[in-house]
Chain A
Amino acid sequence: MQIKREKLKYLFLSFIGGIVFLVFWQIISSLNLVQSFFLPSPKTVLEAIITLFTQGSLLGDIGASFFRIIAGFILSIIVALPLGILFGTSKKTEAVVEPLVAFVRYVPPSAFIPLIIVWFGVGEMGKVILIFLGVAPYLTLLIADTIHSVRKELIEASLTLGATKSDLVFKVILPYSMPAIWDSFRIMFGAAWTFVIIAEIVGSSSGLGHLMIESQRFLRTDNIFAGIIVIGFLGILTDYFFKVASKMLFPWTDKSHA
């Protein structure tokens, strides 16, 4: 009960925070301190969102962005998961591949854009590749780190119970690390949003990034704001999805309530 009350209190305060921000915004625009062209009022932005939803391409844009993120993300997982496990369990593999991964990690993904356009054009493939380049190296290292931190006594216990090397990976290390790996997914999914927007701003005919760059061309500041707010909400929603899913998938962790 105590926990529930705490949670409600937290939610209430967050809500108040949001309201205060909106009121402040409304006051600034009502007082005409800034031209409405630069800062449209909350009401205008809300109307823009509704219009974009009902008459514009917003749903399609969201779908397009989501599709790219998910494609890039799945590709990243397919590569990063086995690689991270290899890194985490074999020093040799780590020594061979780590420098390369670290190198790619330090180059900002946007620096690859010219090359990606030359190689893959401005189609879907290029965008997925950009997300992949931004997400996979980090994800690999996060997974490797998680694998490293498996409690030694669990490994020893399974060895004395007769576990082989592959048992160790698939029956101990992986199941134990899954919640932390899932958490890494959550964090990197946020990063994937950044890259999809960049990719769509650079060159695209659909997606939220495209919506915003188009709005800039037509000086529709209200639509730009609408795009930002929609992206923010989608971010919160996906984050929430990962958290809830984690509780359902891994009921055995200390964080989740039995």
Chain B
Amino acid sequence: MLEIKNLTKEYRNSKSHTVAIQDVNFTVQESEFVSIIGPSGCGKSTILRILSGLDKQTSGEFIFSKDISKINVGFVSQSYALFPWLTVYENIAFGLRIKKLDQIEIDRIVKRYLLITGLDKFKDSYPKQLSGGMQQRVAIVRTLANNPDIILMDEPFGALDVQTRSQMQEFLVKILKEEKKTVVMVTHDIEEALYLSDKILILSTKPGSVKEIMNIDFSKPRKPELKNQNDFIETKKSISYLLKSESIKSTTDEKSLISGKEDLIIGANIWTGIAPLYLAKEKGIFDKYKLNPKIVTLEWSDDRLNPLREKKVDALYTTLDSALVEIEKNPDMEIFMPLDFSIGGDAIISNKNIKTIQELKGKIIGVEQGWVSHFFLNYVLEKNNLSIKDVVIKDIKASDIGKELILDNIQAASVQEPWLTKIQEYSQINTLKTTKDFEPLIYAVLLVRKDVLKEKNEYFNKFKNAWIESVKTLSSDTTDSIRSVAPYLGLSEIELAEQLQNIEFRNIENGFVSATVETRKFLHF
């Protein structure tokens, strides 16, 4: 009954230009319950505001199957927005009075809804005399009394405590059983979305667009017991993962450090091992050495080394394997120093049914092609007397690998932090092999163009010292360091602490030479 096509909303003023949502597409069927969830700031509410007519889209359109002039849209907001000067009765009657229905008709409708809310005792009370849950019940039936074709709800239960929240969900289930209504609801509560919806839209962020549409097939009417069922909990976990990976992406993107007077631009991929860079910036270690590098997060280009070749960055925080491949093709590049190595930060994971590396034969495996996960997969396979040709490779961005695994589009994957821990946490997967099972192999290195290194020789030496000092700070003053760095990586303090267990920063020169030799052996595949 409603089709949303390429809906886009931009906010412009003299200082800034933000794209709130971009090319949002979805459809809503008659009497369907659709939930929209996504990380904060993904433009969830913007979509509802546009649909309700409170805001105007920049481009794109939404088409109701009925004549648009006759479409009656109801809107329920988080803040209840009851009229404080009107009694409960008059609040419900508000829309009907505007429509100028006769008093008998108004009375009939209002009484019916008062009965549904169970608030007829309070019909002459003012909103301030009601609890939050009661107020929101009135707000919902006030909208229903207007007989809307579609109801839009913006975090309707967001301001309520857990107990009241689930009561309100039951209330909604009850009402919707009696009156078939089409609902689009924005929420940040995954359980709530799962419990109420026929369809869940997961939005990605910056700019907001539809990342995934999930059909929820639990039979209706649903009972609260459903929330304890295994398949419900599993689905909930997978949605949690999708949201978590979105929020990691969005924070790393926006927290690029920019001060305007940078003397060096370092490109880095999303990898927990860049923590000491942020720490050095945050703790004034760079300042102490009179360095002011800028750290930019790179992701999802077809070729991750391009920014370095195109001189968009002066140095690139990358993995040893990719650095070696690049140097082979491009002798102008040089590894300045190794920065860390992975001790469990990279892993081969698989769904529940696959228990050994041998079983990977013939299976679909997700990796980011040409990237370290691809290299690691090749390494592990060859160590187990298999070859990359024995499996089916599917090229997937690191941030999406968990999603594909959860949705069963791939059967196994090679993936690294920060995604790895999150996938392990939110879905039932087997971890087949990690870098911990091998000699130090996957190193992060700083790859620099030779001319830059020559020109800024002294700078790079200072950088090396700053890095070493930052690593020392991280290990001597771990709690405080984690606190200041975690926000930059889009992780909580606990998550970062956990992930740092899988990365080694100290004494990394020792094994570096043999790792280089070993890596070279497995580069060509």
Chain A residues engaging chain B, CB cutoff 8 angstroms: 151, 153-154, 156-164, 167, 171-172, 175-176, 178, 250-254, 258
Contact = CB atoms under 8 A, between A and B. Distances in A.
Interface stretch (B77-85, B320-328, B413-421): B77-85
A95 to B, nearest CB: 21
A174 to B, nearest CB: 10
Nearest to B139: A157
A153 B77 contact: yes
Contacts of A154: 81, 83
Given A162-B146, A254-B128, A258-B126, A157 B81 contact: yes
Given A162-B98, A258-B126, A258-B129, A252 B77 contact: no
Nearest to B79: A153
Contacts of B139: 157
B81 A153 contact: yes
7 contacts: A154-B83, A157-B75, A159-B53, A176-B85, A250-B85, A254-B128, A258-B128
B73 interface: yes
Contacts of B73: 160
Given A153-B77, A156-B75, A160-B54, A252 B98 contact: no
B370 interface: no
Which of B72, B127, B128 lies at the interface centre, i.e. has the most chain A CB atoms within 10 A of its CB? B128
Q: Which 6 A-B pairs have the closest CB atoms?
A: A161-B95, A160-B75, A157-B81, A252-B126, A153-B81, A175-B85
B84 A253 contact: yes
B387 interface: no
Contacts of B143: 160-161
B122 to A, nearest CB: 12
Given A167-B98, A252-B126, A160 B52 contact: yes
B4 to A, nearest CB: 18
Given A160-B53, A161-B94, 4 more contacts: A156-B54, A161-B95, A176-B83, A252-B128
Interface of B: 52-54, 72-75, 77, 79, 81, 83-86, 94-95, 97-99, 126-129, 139, 142-143, 146
Contacts of B128: 252-254, 258
A178 B86 CA distance: 13
Contacts, number: 66
Contacts of B84: 176, 252-253
Contacts of B95: 161-162
Nearest to A163: B98
B109 to A, nearest CB: 13
A253 B128 CA distance: 8
Contacts of B127: 252
A252 B90 CA distance: 13
B81 A162 contact: no
A60 B85 CA distance: 40
Contacts of A156: 54, 75, 77, 81
A252 B86 CA distance: 8
A2 to B, nearest CB: 19
Nearest to B152: A160
A158 B94 contact: yes
A55 to B, nearest CB: 49
Nearest to A158: B94
Contacts of B77: 153, 156-157
A181 to B, nearest CB: 13
Contacts of B75: 156-157, 160
A161 B98 contact: yes
Which of A156, A172, A178 lies at the interface centre, i.e. has the most chain B CB atoms within 10 A of its CB? A156
A199 to B, nearest CB: 37
B488 to A, nearest CB: 34
Given A153-B79, A156-B81, A258-B129, A161 B142 contact: yes
Nearest to A160: B75
A158 B52 CA distance: 12
